[in-house]
Amino acid sequence: MTDFFDVLQLLKRFGIFIYTGEQKTDIEMMMSEVKELYDNGLIMKEDYLPALLILKKELGKRTG
């Protein structure tokens, strides 16, 4: 997993599509969904940690 698009594809595999119209809110919801997937054992730590880091980085870009 290397970029934001990869995280979108990960969520898409589980039928998760997020669009609220506000990028910051979308990213925060995506972080929550990735955490839920990991907590429920649906994704491995090898997917969880990079996804979380990518989303945090993206959130930093969007909020300034």
Domain containing 24 — which CATH number?
A: 1.10.287.760
Q: What is the pLDDT, as a whole number, of residue 45?
A: 97
To the question of pTM greater than 0.85 for the whole model, the response is yes
Average of pLDDT values for 4-14?
Answer: 97
- The boundaries of the domain holding residue 39 are 4-63
**How many distinct structural domains can be found in the chain?**
1
Amino acid letter, residue 11: L
Q: Give the pLDDT score at 32.
A: 98
Question: Could you identify the residue written with the tokens 């997937």?
Answer: 37
String of b and e for 3-42 (b: at least 16 CB within 10 Å)? ebeebeebbeeeeeeeeeeeeeebbebbbebbeebbeeee
pLDDT tens per residue across span 24-59: 999 999 999 999 999 999 999 999 999 999 999 999
- pLDDT for residue 64 is more than 70: no
Predicted local confidence at residue 18, as pLDDT: 96
